[in-house]
Chain A
Amino acid sequence: MLRKQYYRYTMFLPGFAVFCLFFVLPSFGSFFYGFTNLDSGFTFTRFVGFENFINLMREPDNFIAFKNTLIFAFLTTFFKVGLGLLLAIFVNLKLKTTLYLRSMLFFPVILSTIAVSLAFTAMLHPERGILNEFLRWVHMDFLAQSWLTNREIVMYSVSMVEIWKYTGLSVILFLAALQSIPKEVTESAQLDGATGWKSLRHITFPLLLPVFNTSIVLHLIGGLKVFDLIIALTGGGPGNASMVINTLIYKSFTQGRNGEATAASFILFLLVLFIVLMVNRLLPKHETER
């Protein structure tokens, strides 16, 4: 068999072995603590069975955290991938200004969350923030909001910041894929009369599909596991209005119930995995597959 000889396991194994030993094993192994009463000193005195899981189900805050996590994940994924695709095609046009834009787009991804949250906290301040000042300046006062302290809209404000920060990541993924489309393909398509939208629809999109799917999966995972940005911008507040599942886990940890926290992260792991695999199944299959 030609294939077996040329695609050898020895090439696949080194990375995979390190991955299993140094990541999968310790991470998965830790879920064992979810069935104990592990404390903050990392000692446990007994196995508690499913007690931790049952306690978690009773927590009244859980519903809002669960809801917020889903809103955040799907909303941000939609915009990060959608805008990312549009912007990738846009900056690929090679205009003068798009060159700057292309460089600029990735800077937010690089910038530390601390800087991002500090800057946005200042910009979204209801009185002195630039956003409301701008809205008042264009006489759209009715749109000026308490962005981060109004319980109704806080999740959307936080999502907006996330979209601002991570759209650039989709852009470079799409750009890399766009480059791998051989010029011959687009040129010959143009000879056949496919231009503009047609060329995009029939040539470019199908070839971008694998990266499109990857991008959705990546951003969904990121969104479902969101933590840092929420803590930095709102701390889950006001009250518990912007709590997500990971902030709940964090709460158990800070209160010293590490067993319960581990159980919670196990639930989150299964939940995210389930959602992602479902979505992955629904995504259109790769058309470039031969």
Chain B
Amino acid sequence: MNARGLLKVKMLLSIVTASALIVLSACGGTVSESSQTTQKPAAVKPKEKTKLKVLGFGSWFKEGMDAVLKDASEKMGIELEIEKVPEGDDGVKLVRTRFATKDLPDILLWSAGLTESQNLGIPSETFVSQDDQPWISNFDKNSWKGAMDSEDGLFYGAPYGGMNSAVVLYNKKVFEGLELQVPKTLEEFWSVSEKIKKSGKIPVYLSGKDSWTLQLPPFMAQARPGLSEFFKKVNVNQAKLSDWSDQKRGLVFIQDVIAKGYVNKEFLSDSYDNAQKALADGDAGMYLMATWVMADISKKYPDKVNDIGAFIMPFEGNGADRVGLFAPNSMYIVKGKNQDAAQQFVNYFESIDTQNIYFANEGGIPAIKGVTVTKLTPAEIEAQKLIDSGRASAVYSISKYAWDSDFGSLTQGLAAGGKSPEQVQESIWNTFVKNAKSKDDPNFK
């Protein structure tokens, strides 16, 4: 009966591969030092009960939003009717179908930096600009330019949830036990790995069963200040993704770390879950991941969360390396009869009080300044310090066409030994060009 049951499970399974990718594919931006702005809480007035329709990806509604919804219902008299779509392409497809047939919600939750190319209509016609709203004074617009705004330079999205960062998570007990220092150069990284290996533990854990996790090393390597400049050229066919030397460093790293024998023996069969356990238990010393994994670790191994720290992967050394940043997701107000009520909710949501409620219940690094209550783990706090010191850069830049939809399986092919870094990059560039050509882009004739 699989004769018929294909499509359904296909959708179910796109989640397996894509649930983390949806977070990954959010466009990031560069965060400079955070300038302190004065706190201006939005005017909050209870009104008669309004019902707002919200459309968003299922996994985006967790403890933080639950707490906010409760509070909103009590204080604001606003009820949200939430419609959840699944992560990945099927959810995206569903939302696009809705917008194409004018079946619109009042608030859309979507990745940051919504542009026309995402096929949800022209932003200025469909969504309400947030530039004049009170909440934005607590938001560092300049740092997020080019990542959270649209093509017309206006900000349509209000941050929803926290940012995430790609770092090396390491077990402090393992490092202390072997008297190891956090490595600052690649040579130091290899010598640290050698010592961990000699002690009988796994230096670097790779979770190749979940192929998306293998993208993190190249993501960290590509987080460099020049990224958006590079992509401006790529978008008009003046530079090639196959010449992307920053990313290549990360791909070569995967090859090297396997060749040197510094990884777990069955790195193609071990999963994201296995990695969390190995890192928390101290069976593995390091894991190249993003800070979102800390939410899982603190749930599963609450007594071991404090053993885990974070440092920047030293591909180049000399302070050239960066924490890879993933922008927070965003809330977009859809133009229509409920837009005022929706705006009221967004202003309430972005107020410091509400943000405190949100982040008291859910992990992630707030993008709104002045949030005092958070639930950050030590590893996230260390990552936040690195971000605050200006040593962070976006993992992604606005790309005109998709290139990374099968980057996970390509990096898995690399790890399995079937592909070289050059072939992986050739492949993503071919994908980009193919997509450009199918859109009749004149630069790609």
- Give the interface of A toward B (CB within 8 A): 37, 39-43, 45-46, 55, 109, 112-114, 121, 125-127, 146, 148-149, 151, 162, 166, 169, 218-219, 221-223, 225-229, 231-232, 235-241, 246, 250-251, 253-257, 259-260
Contact in complex: B434, A55 (CB < 8 Å): yes
* B271 interface contact, C-beta 8 A: yes
B residues near A246, Cβ cutoff 8 Å: 6, 10
Chain B CB count within 10 A is highest, among A39, A114, A231, A239, for A239
Q: Which residues of A contact B40 (CB under 8 A)?
A: none
**Contact status B269-A126, CB under 8 Å:** yes
Given contacts A40-B119, A256-B402, contact A240 B413 (CB under 8 A): yes
Contacts of B418 in A (CB 8 A): 151, 238-241
Q: Is the CB of B416 within 8 A of A232?
A: no
Assess whether A254 is in contact with B406, with CB atoms less than 8 Å apart. yes
Which residues of A sit under 8 angstroms from B1, Cβ to Cβ? 109, 166, 169, 218, 222
Q: Which of B89, B268, B419 contacts A253 (CB 8 A)?
A: B89
**Chain A minimum-CB-distance residue to B415:** A238
Other 17 A-B pairs with CB < 8 A, given A228-B5, A239-B416, A246-B6:
A40-B96, A40-B119, A42-B100, A114-B12, A125-B270, A149-B266, A149-B268, A218-B3, A222-B3, A226-B2, A228-B9, A235-B412, A238-B418, A241-B416, A254-B14, A255-B402, A255-B434
* CB of B103 within 8 Å of the partner chain: no
Q: List 16 A-B contacts (CB under 8 A).
A: A40-B93, A42-B96, A113-B13, A126-B266, A146-B268, A225-B3, A232-B13, A237-B211, A239-B412, A239-B413, A240-B409, A240-B418, A250-B14, A251-B406, A254-B14, A255-B434
In the complex, are the beta carbons of A113 and B12 less than 8 A apart?
A: yes
Q: When chains A and B are docked, how far (Å) is the Cα of A251 from the Cα of B435?
A: 12
Q: With a 10 A CB-CB cut-off, give which of B6, B89, B269, B413 has the most chain A CB atoms.
A: B269
Instruction: Output the nearest chain B residue to A169 by Cβ-Cβ distance.
Output: B1
Indicate if the CB atoms of A227 and B438 lie closer than 8 Å: no
Q: Which residue of A lies closest to B434 (CB)?
A: A257
Q: Give min CB distance, B80 to chain A, whole Å.
A: 26
> What distance in Å separates the Cβ of A138 from its nearest Cβ neighbour in chain B?
21
The answer to whether A254 and B89 touch (CB under 8 A), given A222-B2, A238-B416, is yes
Give the distance in Å from the alpha carbon of A180 to the alpha carbon of B185 in the complex. 76
Query: Number of B interface residues, CB 8 Å?
Result: 49
Chain B residues lying within 8 Å of A169, measured Cβ to Cβ, are 1
Specify which of B118, B119, B401 lies most central, judged by the most chain A CB atoms within 10 Å of its CB: B119
Q: Is the CB of B409 within 8 A of A236?
A: yes
Query: Chain B: which residue is nearest A162 at the CB level?
Result: B2
Query: Sorted from nearest, which 9 A-B pairs have the closest CB atoms?
Result: A41-B119, A239-B413, A228-B9, A238-B416, A222-B2, A149-B268, A239-B418, A222-B3, A254-B405
Is B440 touching A45 in the complex (CB atoms < 8 A)? yes
Residues of B within 8 A of A256 (CB): 401-402, 405, 435
Residue pair B16, A235 in contact (C-beta under 8 Å): yes
CB contacts (< 8 Å) of A231 on chain B: these are: 10, 13-14, 16-17
Bound Cα distance A218, B3 (Å): 7
Cross-chain contact A127 with B269 (CB below 8 angstroms): yes
Residues of B contacting A241 with CB < 8 Å?
416, 418
Contact B100 A41 (CB under 8 A): yes
Cα of A132 to Cα of B271 in the assembled complex, Å: 18
CB distance from B71 to the nearest CB of A (A): 34
- Write out the residue numbers on chain B whose beta carbons fall within 8 Å of the beta carbon of A37: 438-440
In the bound complex, do residue B9 and residue A255 qualify as a contact, i.e. CB atoms below 8 Å apart?
no
Contact flag A228-B3 (CB < 8 Å), given A146-B269, A235-B211, A254-B406: no
The answer for the CA separation of A21 and B97 in the assembled complex, in Å, is 21
Contact of B145 with A by CB under 8 A: no
Query: From residue A1, how far is it (CB to closest CB) to chain B in Å?
Result: 36
A41, A225, A259: which contacts B2 (Cβ < 8 A)?
A: A225
A153 CB to closest chain B CB, in angstroms? 13
Within 8 A of A (CB), among B1-40: 1-3, 5-6, 8-10, 12-14, 16-17
> Could you give, for residues 424-444 of chain B, a 1 whenever the CB lies within 8 Å of some chain A CB and a 0 otherwise?
000000010011001110000
Measured CA separation A146–B209 after assembly (Å): 12
B413, A250: Cβ atoms under 8 Å?
Answer: no
Measured between alpha carbons, how far is A75 from B16 in the docked complex, in Å? 27
Q: How far is the CB of A117 from chain B (nearest CB, A)?
A: 8
**Pick from B97, B405, B409, B431: contact of A42, CB under 8 Å:** B97
| Chain B residues with CB below 8 A from A237, complex form | 211, 268, 409, 412-413, 416
The one of B92, B271, B440 that contacts A121, using a Cβ cutoff of 8 Å: B271
Instruction: Select B405's contact among A235, A240, A251, beta carbons within 8 Å.
Output: A251
B300 interfacial contact with A, CB 8 Å: no
A221 to chain B: closest residue by CB: B3
Cβ of B416 and Cβ of A151 under 8 Å apart?
Answer: yes
**Which residues of B are found within 8 Å of A112, using beta-carbon distances?**
9, 12
Whether A239 contacts B409 by the Cβ 8 Å rule is yes
Interface flag for B70 (CB, 8 Å): no
Contact of A239 with B435 at beta-carbon distance under 8 Å, contacts A109-B1, A146-B269, A225-B2 already known:
no
**B2 closest partner in A (C-beta):** A222
B62 within 8 Å of A by Cβ? Answer: no
> A257 with B409: in contact, given A125-B269, A218-B3 (CB under 8 Å)?
no
Separation in Å of the B247 CB from the closest CB of chain A?
18
Q: Which of A228, A255, A257 contacts B406 (CB 8 A)?
A: A255
CA distance A151 to B412 in the complex (A): 12
B265 within 8 A of A: yes
Min distance, Cβ A3 to any Cβ of chain B, angstroms = 32
Report yes or no: A227 in contact with B266, Cβ–Cβ below 8 A.
Answer: no
Q: Given A55-B434, A109-B1, A228-B6, do A46 and B409 touch, yes or no (CB 8 Å)?
A: no
Task: Type the 1/0 row for B190-225, where 1 means its CB is closer than 8 Å to any CB of A.
Answer: 000000000000000000110100000000000000
Whether B6 lies near A225 (C-beta < 8 A) is yes
Q: Are A257 and B435 closer than 8 Å at their CB atoms?
A: yes
Write out the residue numbers on chain A whose beta carbons fall within 8 Å of the beta carbon of B269: 125-127, 146, 148-149
Question: Looking across the interface, which residue of chain B has its beta carbon closest to that of A113?
Answer: B9
Min CB gap B134→A, angstroms: 33
Q: Which of B2, B10, B413, B439 touches A238 (beta carbons < 8 Å)?
A: B413
Chain A neighbourhood of B402, CB < 8 A: 255-256
In the bound complex, what is the Cα–Cα distance between A80 and B418 (angstroms)? 32
Q: B276 → chain A, closest Cβ, in Å?
A: 15
The interface residues of chain A lying within 8 Å CB-to-CB of B401 are: 256
Q: A137 to nearest B CB, angstroms?
A: 19
Residues of chain A contacted by B6 (CB below 8 angstroms)? 225-228, 246
Per-residue CB contact flags for chain B residues 391-424 toward chain A (1 = under 8 Å, else 0) read 0000000000110011011001101101100000
